[in-house]
């Protein structure tokens, strides 16, 4: 993309309404614009990151066999009366009447709707196991929306639901989700720690939250520092293998890690003192197993191998996709702006032309642009007639991990400059080598 | 995808509520499930087609330089008071109050919101031309929703907005949209004819609707049959070239083609009698140029080259993405089910194993599956232990354009059967040749 043809309204002033860095930088970098309290438009740069995260979530869900679908945003109130949550769900649920006076609501979550669908079609153990998910806009009418997309009212979420014949099979689905989530977050450049959580209004005995450590996190967390040494990496886990998935669950949850809601001081004190940590964390996902509660209420009953009618064992599993954009920025930025991890960056690298209009510099930038594009990479070329300082400032704010700087002086020596946004380190090298280096960096990232 | 692991609830009975074939087949093929009147869940097969159409729209929009973004579904009533449409928009607009009593609505369209955004950031002619678009769920509270996704209440739509300095530039954007839409529909296997339309509540002098001819269409249309000979094909049109885009507009709109709303009997009678046609059509898109109306009301004013403050010239342009799923089925089906055009099919081909459990047949199916997948194609393998008739019935209903049938008898002679869903014609050939043929068919389609 050439910046002269893009819509990237980078703000010079610091937005006063933003209390945390991700909110401030998303506004300054021209990623979002607030349209009402807690409701945002995603401008092209922000939308690109959001789509990238959505893509990673889709890929990792489908890698473990979960099936994508899409439920509508608007639900009927009747559906929620069947589960009993129409009354119990608080004022966060946006309720209204349609033109015929029917009670409707903007879905804050989809347990009722998905269970009704599965109840309608799934009649036999032969149709199981089944995990369906969707990535859809949700609405929660927060009393005090704040922190930008981190606690908005309209937000984008992946929610998935497993349907299994037995508790054992459903707990395997629970473990499989943990495996898949660990990989998902790592691809986004995040360390998200599974922590034992409180089950809240959804109910159930088993639940873990995934928390990213960040000073601005809404939760206080307590953990054994040994847990931060764990990485999922490139493991090939057979997701049909109960034992293999259980082993990953055990490895990542056997050390102490809890939010303040479930924190147990006595247990925490059993952690060696030099490994006890307390910090702030941002919740970016949660998994639940809640048994047969919804399937009994909504009639999700199947015939088992013995010909008996049994209710399905269920769980639900969420990843906050729009919130993750903020969480990644909270975890990865400096005082100049955002620093995107390679896995989620909106453009693979920036090209800065130090002297727009200089024949050699223009030609070299065009050539770099074409070479990178031919390799399937997407550069953002700042081809505006602006001072170098303004161009660098824009690139630093929007946080592309790599920048190639092209100027007449370097070109006389046959070199351009390749700069890492994270370290700030620069290296002079011939243009084709810069392209090769960037290609190498992104090998295996997409 | 192996059918044993998929969620494809094909119905045996004909759904009684469906009045038109696309609605009936989408229900029968397990593509959608109604959750309330005019509101649908997209089951995995339906979701896959919807995403495919969305992908084509994104690619074709970006090919001509339009920038993707995303506006929220919920809008503030205040925004619509600025344009004066809060009162004039009828009961189709779903209105409600949030927990603080503020007037909100579920967006039926986005002229106000996008103009507010552009007004906030675009101050100079140097930032133009600019066309932003999004693909987002909309809600229109139809009094009598029907015809499935063809006239639903919650629907998925691409709406794009151009902002230009002059009427001339905005009319070029109008022409460019026509060019891009022609290509978009053809990639979906549709002939969508641009017809002069009525501008309705959005206002403006210039507007064309795109109509697909189908007996179940809601509009009566009148046209010169010569127009159906036109195809856009593989032309490389320079979309920055005003003259080139105008030539395409002229070519595709110079012959008589109007909906009943703008039909002019006298003009129609000038068409040679043997070329006069009247038929039914389904509207799948519309383009508008409406001048400075919204930019004046919402303050989208820029400084022009002479330093003067001038309001922007705008247009808006829509493609009904969810409705297109129905329109394609209306245009492409037979009495056994759907027939997907190659450009939008949810799976590239089906594999039917005539004798599940037969060692040779199972092995050959696995091999075909792997060979096709390795080529980047996505087969749907019916690996269920079902009768051949049931497997063929499912494949015919869901409408994959190609099917490979594998059975022990054919394998003894070293052949499988390749069948076209459209013609019903079959050919016996060695498995590797069947794979090569399918690869050839899809060359250049994706």
Alpha-helical (H) ranges within A91-164 are: 111-121
pLDDT value of position A16: 86
- B124 and B71 within one domain: yes
Please compute the mean of the pLDDT values over residues B292-300 and round it to a whole number.
Answer: 95
- Closest-CA distance, B271 to chain A, in angstroms, reads 43
pLDDT for the residue A141? 96
Helix (H, G, I), strand (E, B) or coil at A248: helix
> What is the secondary structure of A8-48 as a DSSP string?
----SSPPTT--SHHHHHHHHTTSEEEEETTEEEE-HHHHH
Within a domain: A189: yes
- Alpha carbon distance B299, B309 (integer Å): 11
Surface of B (421-440) touching A: CB under 8 A: none
- Both A293 and A364 in a single domain? no
At B200, the pLDDT band (50, 70, 90 cuts) reads low
| Nearest Cβ partner for B132 among A7, A65, A74 | A7
Does A170 reside within a domain? yes
pLDDT at B205 over 70: no
Inter-chain touch A113–B35, beta carbons under 8 Å: yes
- Pick the last residue of a domain from A315, A338, A361: A338
Backbone φ and ψ of A337, nearest 5°: 150, -160
User: From the list B35, B48, B72, which residue is nearest A154 (CB)?
Assistant: B72
pLDDT in tens, B414-425: 999 999 999 999
| Angle at A147 (CA atoms; ends A183, A319), nearest 5 degrees | 25
Q: Would you say residue A263 lies in a domain?
A: yes
Substitution target in A72, A91, A97, A125 with the highest count of B β-carbons within 10 Å is A72
B53/B321 Cα distance (integer angstroms): 7
- The minimum CA-CA distance between B380 and chain A, rounded to whole Å, is 14
Q: What is the pLDDT of residues A373-431, one digit of tens each?
A: 999 999 999 999 999 999 999 999 999 999 999 999 999 999 999 999 999 999 999 99
CB contact under 8 A, B36 and A75: yes
Any CB–CB contact under 8 A between B67 and chain A? Answer: yes
Give the helix/strand (H/E) hosting A324. Answer: helix A321-331
Percent of chain A at pLDDT > 70 equals 98
For the question of whether the overall pTM of this predicted structure is more than 0.95, the answer is yes
For residue B342, is it within any domain?
no
Q: Is residue A244 a contact partner of residue A293, using CB atoms and an 8 Å limit?
A: no
pLDDT (tens digit, 9 = 90+) per residue, A272-315? 999 999 999 999 999 999 999 999 999 999 999 999 999 999 99
Decide if B39 and A72 are in contact by the 8 Å CB cutoff.
yes
Looking at the complex, does the CB of residue B153 fall below 8 Å from at least one CB of chain A? yes
Query: Do B127 and B166 belong to one domain?
Result: yes
What band does B411 get if pLDDT is binned at 50, 70 and 90? very high
User: Within this chain, do residues A199 and A57 fall inside the same structural domain, yes or no?
Assistant: yes
State whether A98 and A211 are in the same domain.
yes
Asked if A65's CB is within 8 angstroms of B5's CB, the reply is yes
CATH of residue A407's domain is 3.40.50.800
Output the 3-class SS for chain B: CEHHHCCCCCCCCCCCCCCCHHHHHHHHCCCEEEEECCEEEECHHHHHHHHHHHHHHHHHHHHCCCEECECCCEEEHHHHHHHCHHHHCCCCCEEEECCCCCEEEECCCCHHHHHHHHHHHCCEHHHCCEEEEEEEEEECCCCCCECHHHECCEEEEEEEEEEECCHHHHHHHHHHHHHHHHHHHHHCCCCEEEEECCCHHHCCCEEEEEEEECCCCCEEEEEEHHHHHCCCCCCCCCCCCHHHHHHHHHHHHCCCEEECCCCCHHHHCCCCHHHEEEEEEEEEEEEEEEECHHHHHHCCEEECCCCCEEECEEEEEEEEHHHHHHHHHHHCEECCEECCCCCCCCCCEEEEECCCCCHHHHHHHHHHHHHHHHCCCCEEEECCCCCHHHHHHHHHHHCCCEEEEECHHHHHCCCEEEEECCCCCEEEECHHHHHHHHHHHHCCCC
Instruction: Kindly calculate the radius of gyration of chain A based on its CA atoms and give it in whole angstroms.
Output: 24
Q: Are A44 and B67 inside 8 Å of each other by CB?
A: yes
Considering the domain architecture, whether residues B246 and B382 belong to the same structural domain is answered as no
Name the percent of chain A lying above pLDDT 90: 94
Residue range B148-165: mean pLDDT, rounded: 97
What's the confidence (pLDDT) of residue B445? Answer: 83
**Which among B6, B37, B41, B76 is the top mutation candidate for probing chain A, defined by the most A β-carbons within 10 Å of its own β-carbon?**
B41
Say what the pLDDT of residue B204 is. Answer: 58
Whole-number pLDDT of residue A202: 56
Per-residue pLDDT band for B198 (boundaries 50, 70, 90) equals confident
Instruction: Say whether residue B139 is in contact with chain A using an 8 A CB cutoff.
Output: yes
Q: Does any CB of chain B come closer than 8 Å to the CB of residue A121? A: yes
Nearest to A169 by CA among A127, A110, A210, A115: A127
| pLDDT of amino acid B113 | 98
Confidence of residue A230 (pLDDT cuts 50, 70, 90): very high
Distances (CA, A) of A338 to A349, A397, B71, B291: 14, 6, 23, 39
Q: Is residue A132 within a helix (H) or strand (E), and if so which, with residue range?
A: strand A130-139
* pLDDT reading at A446 higher than 70: no
Give yes or no: residues A329 and A353 share one domain. no
B221 lies in some domain: yes
**Mean pLDDT of all residues in chain A?**
96
Q: Are residues B320 and B383 in the same domain?
A: no
pLDDT higher than 70, residue A201: no
Within a domain: A54: yes
Phi, psi for residue B183 in degrees, rounded to 5: -65, -40
CATH number of the structural domain spanning residue A55: 3.30.930.10
Last residue of a domain, one of B309, B337, B365: B337
In a domain, B9, yes or no: no
Distance of CA B412 to CAs B360, B409, B427, Å?
Answer: 9, 5, 16
Tell me the residue range of the domain where A381 lies: 349-442
Q: Is the pLDDT of residue A199 over 90?
A: no
Q: How far is B100 from chain A (nearest CA, A)?
A: 8
For every residue of A195-247, DSSP letters joined together read: EE---GGG--SEEEEEEEE-TT-SEEEEEEGGGGG---TT----TT-HHHHHH
Q: Provide the pLDDT for residue B14.
A: 86
The whole-angstrom separation of Cα A431 and Cα A313 is 58
Closest C-alpha among A57, A55, A22 to residue A285: A57
Give the rounded distance of the alpha carbon of B171 from its chain centre. 24
Q: Residue B7 domain-assigned?
A: no
Residues 254-273 of B with CB under 8 A from A: none
Supply B132's token pair: 């932003």
Do B371 and B311 share a structural domain? no
Q: Is residue A303 located within the same domain as residue A436?
A: no
Q: What is the pLDDT of residues B93-115, one digit of tens each?
A: 999 999 999 999 999 999 999 99
Nearest to B43 among A69, A75, A96 (CB): A69
State both tokens at A312.
């399905």
B385 at A interface, C-beta within 8 A: no
**What is the per-residue pLDDT for A232?**
96
Specify the number of domains making up chain B: 2
Asked if B356 and B323 sit in the same domain, the reply is: no
Single residue among B303, B337, B371 that ends a domain in this structure = B337
Residues A250 and A359 in one domain: no
- A/B interface, count of CB pairs below 8 Å: 146
Task: Answer yes or no: are the C-beta atoms of A239 and A64 closer than 8 Å.
Answer: yes
């Amino acid at each position: 993309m050439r910046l002269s043809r893009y819509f990237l309204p980078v703000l010079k002033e610091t937005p006063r309404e933003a209390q945390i860095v991700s909110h401030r930088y998303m506004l300054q970098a021209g990623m979002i614009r607030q349209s009402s309290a807690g409701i945002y438009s995603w401008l092209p740069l922000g939308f690109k990151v959001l789509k990238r995260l959505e893509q990673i979530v889709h890929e990792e869900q489908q890698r473990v066999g979960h099936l994508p679908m899409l439920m509508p945003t608007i639900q009927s109130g009747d559906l929620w009366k069947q589960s009993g949550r129409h009354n119990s769900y608080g004022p966060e649920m946006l309720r209204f009447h349609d033109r015929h006076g029917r009670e409707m609501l903007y879905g804050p979550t989809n347990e009722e709707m998905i269970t009704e669908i599965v109840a309608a079609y799934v009649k036999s153990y032969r149709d199981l196991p089944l995990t369906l998910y969707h990535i859809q806009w949700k609405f929660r009418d927060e009393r005090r929306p704040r922190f930008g997309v981190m606690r908005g009212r309209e937000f984008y979420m992946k929610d998935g639901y497993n349907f299994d014949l037995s508790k054992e099979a459903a707990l395997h689905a629970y473990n499989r989700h943990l495996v898949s989530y660990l990989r998902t977050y790592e691809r986004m450049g995040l360390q998200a720690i599974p922590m034992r959580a409180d089950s809240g209004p959804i109910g159930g005995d088993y639940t873990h939250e995934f928390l990213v450590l960040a000073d601005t996190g809404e939760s206080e967390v307590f953990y054994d520092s040994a847990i931060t040494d764990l990485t999922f990496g490139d493991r090939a886990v057979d997701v049909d293998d109960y034992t293999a998935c259980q082993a990953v669950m055990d490895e990542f949850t056997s050390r102490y890690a809890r939010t303040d809601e479930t924190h147990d001081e006595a247990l925490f004190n059993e952690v060696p003192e030099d490994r006890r940590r307390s910090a702030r964390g941002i919740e970016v996902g949660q998994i639940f197993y809640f048994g047969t509660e919804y399937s009994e209420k909504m009639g999700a009953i199947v015939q088992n191998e013995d010909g008996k009618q049994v209710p399905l064992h269920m769980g639900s599993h969420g990843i906050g996709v729009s919130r993750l954009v903020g969480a990644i920025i909270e975890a990865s930025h400096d005082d100049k702006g955002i620093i995107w991890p390679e896995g989620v960056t909106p453009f693979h690298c920036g090209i800065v032309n130090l002297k727009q209009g200089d024949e050699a510099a223009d030609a070299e930038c065009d050539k770099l642009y074409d070479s990178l594009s031919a390799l399937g990479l997407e550069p953002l070329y700042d081809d505006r007639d602006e001072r170098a300082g303004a161009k660098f400032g824009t690139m630093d704010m929007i946080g592309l991990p790599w920048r190639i700087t092209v100027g007449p002086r370097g070109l006389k020596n046959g070199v351009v400059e390749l700069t890492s946004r994270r370290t700030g380190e620069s290296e002079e090298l011939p243009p084709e080598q810069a392209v090769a280096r960037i290609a190498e960096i992104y090998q295996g990232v997409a």
